[in-house]
Chain A
Amino acid sequence: MSDSIDRETAMQVARLARIHLSDDAASECQHHLSQVLAYIGKLNEVQLPENVLPFFGATESVNAVRADLLVNSFPREVMLKNSPDTDGEFYRVPPVFK
């Protein structure tokens, strides 16, 4: 584990997370990530038994199945109501390509 990251990595992480970072925010982000990663580096001290399996959740269930019943869905206008922009039928977004 590396416990510090450079500014370019911070900017790359922000791009992956789809969060715009101003110059000031990038410095703050770089500082914070480095600080937290140094703290998380503590996990290197743990003596893990050989072949220990990861634990991803307390149920450890492989699958959850239920009867395939037909149920009512919400009307389109109800689901579109919380959207910031629609044409009444679909979500409307800015162009994918400039």
Chain B
Amino acid sequence: MSRLNREIARLSAAEIVQHIAQGNFSATECTQHFLDAIDRANTRLNALITVAGEQALESAAAIDQLVQSKKKLGPLAGLPIAIKDGICTAGLRTSAGSRMLQNFVPPYDATIVKRLKDAGAIVIGKTNMDEFAMGSSTENSCVGPTLNPWATEFVPGGSSGGSAACVAADLAPTAIGSDTGGSIRQPAAFCGVTGLKPTYGRVSRSGLIAFGSSLDHIGPLTRSAADAALILTTIAGHDSQDSTSAMIDSGDYSTALDESIKGLKIGVCREHFGAGLNPEIDIAIQEAIRVLADRGAQIVETSLPQTEFAVPTYYVIACCEASSNLARFDGVRYTHREPGDDLEQMYCQTRAAGFGAEVKRRIMLGTFALSSGYYDAYYLRASKVRRIIKQDYDVALESCDLILGPTTPTAAFRLGKHTQDPLEMYLADIYTVSANLAGVPAISVPCGFSKAGLPIGMQLQGRAFAESTLLQVAHQYQQQTDWHLRRPVF
């Protein structure tokens, strides 16, 4: 590895942008560095489904022109970023990890992709994911699983496992994921990177291939909270293309990072430390609590009493919404079609062959729960339980500024461990799904390693639209620890 390559691999996102602006290295050199890294590692890790080599180098050359002619640069000028394959990129294949969309090339960019490009970011490729974001291990992908760079016999988490693995393995300095029940935070925890799910409505989902529309979020996966703040600043804000987009100002999330956390009240939720939590995770979280207390945070006990009902509530609602959202994949408009003697047979054969097993399971569960005679018992009841889960957050966050706990009950599990029993897989999301049901922001930050050498993640959840507080606490924690700076050897 050359001196330049070693240097780039150590830099934060902000430093990469700064070096390119100052001419210390070019956007083309930087992009080529990451394309070379992908070339060396992707065959093994399978973190990217599509590499945007030519397009990325063209975009980088355009940034270099701006630098040379001393024109105004965007806030992310030259920064490579990997985008989850469930998010539309104009002219670049977007498969959502599904055979159904294997050759789908969107004619437009998702709003967040447009914003990133307008800010000068370079889309370097599309990352592997569980099909239509349904899964917690990135094993449900039509192109096969992504491997965890820390130990390749383990999963990277999911569904944004490709994005998390890319950042962990230095195949991209930053990435974008989506999170419907933990799909940014859980892979961030499993891969030792920082992953932020913003408040519902904070970041536009226009151009995200929908799974559960009332639960889907888009957010960054990065090496640090400071990098996450930089990306969020670009992608946040109202978008008229997304009717759920909030009319609330976003601003610069980097400004409050260095403010003291002295006196901030951090709630520790007793339901997060019960049966099922691996003792190694418990120890790492207790140590993280101590670090934050030493920085002046006030630690208080809090409670989210309905935590045990969050996963079943989530599965009813997410599957109902999925059954509706995925009705559009009918063999008419989006690339994949199986032959049929009549229209209905074509629909049924296309959907049987185009969707993978887990997607079909979830569509059918949702179809059943929404069908005549069952709606009240399943969807309506789950939506009422969702109300009291949301009320739990309202009460808990009255007496503290944020809630700290583990992101996951265990570190990464072995490939294939849960594929035969989807219910076990669903329980990997036990600490993350509630934030999607309530719509509150949450971030996962690396906070240690298991004895097997696998990363452990700490989750911080906050009040709606209080991403700044989460990023501030996460950044302050990362000023005191080096877990986020460690890199796997693979």
A contacts, CB < 8 Å to B: 1, 5, 9-10, 13-21, 25, 29, 32-33, 35-37, 39-40, 42-43, 45-46, 48-49, 52-59, 61, 64, 66, 74, 78-79, 81-85, 91, 93-98
Contact = CB atoms under 8 A, between A and B. Distances in A.
Nearest to B347: A18
Given A13-B368, A16-B371, A94-B345, A54 B386 contact: yes
14 contacts: A17-B323, A18-B351, A19-B352, A40-B312, A45-B309, A49-B388, A54-B384, A55-B383, A56-B214, A84-B336, A85-B337, A91-B332, A94-B343, A94-B346
Contacts of B464: 58
B365 A36 contact: yes
Given A59-B244, A78-B107, A82-B103, 11 more contacts: A32-B361, A33-B361, A35-B423, A45-B309, A46-B309, A54-B386, A56-B214, A64-B244, A82-B105, A83-B334, A96-B342
Nearest to B200: A58
Given A19-B364, A42-B312, A98-B342, A55 B351 contact: no
Contacts of B364: 10, 13-14, 17, 19, 29, 33
Interface string B364-398: 11011001000001101111111111100000000
Interface centre among A17, A66, A83, A91 (most CB of B within 10 A): A17
> Range of interface residues on chain B?
35 or more
B381 A43 contact: yes
B380 A43 contact: no
A56 B212 CA distance: 11
B7 interface: no
Contacts of A54: 380, 383-384, 386-387
B25 interface: no
A82 B334 contact: yes
Nearest to B317: A56
A17 to B, nearest CB: 4
B360 A19 contact: yes
A20 B438 CA distance: 35
A88 to B, nearest CB: 15
B438 A39 contact: no
Contacts of A53: 384, 387
A61 B245 CA distance: 10
A40 B385 CA distance: 12
A25 B476 CA distance: 51
Nearest to A18: B347
A20 B104 contact: no
B244 A61 contact: yes
B386 A66 contact: no
Interface in B325-342: 327, 330-337, 339-342
B439 interface: yes
Given A20-B349, A32-B361, A59 B201 contact: yes
Nearest to B421: A35
A40 B387 contact: no
Contact of B384 (A15, A48, A96): A48
A21 B309 contact: no
Contact of A56 (B347, B352, B383, B438): B383
Contact of A95 (B343, B355, B361, B389): B343
Contact of B312 (A17, A39, A61, A95): A39
Contacts of B316: 40, 43
Contacts of A16: 367, 371
B306 interface: yes
A93 B332 contact: yes
Contacts of B348: 15, 18-20
Contact of A1 (B200, B323, B331, B377): B377
Nearest to B348: A20
B112 to A, nearest CB: 18
A13 B371 CA distance: 8
A58 B312 contact: no
Contacts of B327: 18
Contacts of B349: 20
Nearest to A57: B214
Nearest to A28: B357
Given A43-B385, A82-B335, A83-B333, A55 B342 contact: no
B384 A91 contact: no
A93 B245 CA distance: 36
B273 interface: no
Nearest to A91: B332
A18 B324 CA distance: 12
B108 interface: yes
B464 to A, nearest CB: 7
A49 B390 CA distance: 14
B466 to A, nearest CB: 14
